[in-house]
Every structure is written in C-alpha cells, then in structure tokens.
Amino acid sequence: METILFDVKNAMQESIDDAVLAAKKLQESSAKDFIEALSLMIVGCYQSEKKLIIAGNGGSLCDAMHFAEELTGFFRGKRRALPAIALSDPGHMSCVGNDVGFDEVFSRGVEAYGVEGDVFIALTTSGNSTNLVSAIEAAKSRGLKTVAFLGKTGGRMKGVCDLEWIVDGFKFSDRVQEAHMAAIHIVIEMVERLLFEDCNK
C-alpha cells in the first residue's frame, strides 16, 4: 500500500474553504453591479430581437456552452427559446485553426454571426487569450456590445469591454470558473424573471 504523503482531510478542507471564498466574491459590490448591468443588457438585447454570442477556451468554453443552452433551452421555467450561440463548433474551429491559426477561431465566428446590437461575451480566467482579444476587436468593429468575465489580474482584456468582472485572489482557474458559473446562473435567473413573469412561480 502506498504511503499517503499529505493529510487528505486538511487538503480537502483547504479546497472547500477556497470554494466558499470564490462564492463569496458574488457578495462584493462590483459583482452585484456587474450582474445587474449584464442582466439588463441581455434583456435589452432580447427586446431588440438580437442575440448573444459567447466564447471561451477549455473549461470556459464548456461554461460558454452551458450559458447558451440555458437560454436556448430552459432554466427555471417554461418560456420561449432565447437566441444564444456558443462558438464551439469543432468543424469551424478546426477549419479556422488549420487555415489561419487558432488565434482567429472566435473572431471568425463573430464575423459570421455578429450583427450590430448583439452582445459578445468572453469567458477567460486569465484575460490573456489572444483568440478572445481578437474576437472582442471584431465584435467592437461590428457594433456588438462586449462583456468579459475575467480572473486574476484581468490580463490584456482588463478595461477593454463595455462590462467586465474580475474574480481576483485565486492562483488557479478552477475557483475563478466556479465564481463565473454562479454569476452566470444568477444572470440567467434575472433575465428570465425580467422577461417572463411566470418563470419563477
């Protein structure tokens, strides 16, 4: 039997404490202001018959897909489908990545789908992903509103978008992503409640 080189219970407790700290980021005024502003931006987008385009890399791409499906499908109540696209199609991504490089996979998606009045949302724990920086530039040039869920210091994307939220104080991406997803769920709840009176009854 292998010798255990660390105290599992203490290590587990440290991780639990970190997860709780990540959740507590939602109580900060910057988080509340961001969630309210984003909820209202999305409601305005849908009232203008526009859509969301969402992108991220790795775990943040999975979060982007989750964000989109909660809107195109259902969240807490039955209501009409809301248009949201996660830039996640493997055919598109491998085509663009092979032909011109991975840095353009999201900007090409914005070019393909984005129109003035849409909202582009970037999910990134570092803020330094070149493909997301390029996508934001493409979104701005086409008249889309831009939003960034960021982590750590905010990286290159800090101060670039119309709305941003930085989950700081965590060395690793997992805690940042946990805070991001909690905020995403709250935003979707607020959007449903603002657009569809019966969704939370």
Secondary structure class of 3 (helix, strand, coil): coil
Does 1 reside within a domain? no
Contacts of 161 (CB under 8 A, 6+ apart): 122, 136, 146, 147, 148
Question: Is a pLDDT exceeding 80 seen at residue 83?
Answer: yes
Question: Is a pLDDT exceeding 60 seen at residue 16?
Answer: yes
Which structural domain, as residue segments, surrounds residue 172? 10-195
Work out the number of other CB atoms within 10 angstroms of the CB of residue 197.
11
Binning the chain into helix, strand and coil, the percentages to the nearest 5 are 55, 10, 30
**Cβ proximity of 195 and 76 under 8 Å:** no
Residue type, 31: A
What CATH number should be reported for the domain holding residue 169? 3.40.50.10490
Distance CA 94, CA 86 (A): 15
**Cβ proximity of 45 and 117 under 8 Å:** yes
pLDDT for the residue 6: 75
Does 142 reside within a domain? yes
Q: 152 vs 32, 107, 157, 171, CA distance in Å? A: 18, 24, 11, 7
Does 3 reside within a domain? no
Residues 147-164 have a mean pLDDT of: 97
pLDDT for the residue 3: 61
In tens, the pLDDT along 118-143 reads: 999 999 999 999 999 999 999 999 99
In tens, the pLDDT along 156-169 reads: 999 999 999 999 99
Question: Is a pLDDT exceeding 60 seen at residue 1?
Answer: no
Residue type, 140: K
- The verdict on pTM exceeding 0.85 is yes
Structural domain tally of the chain? 1
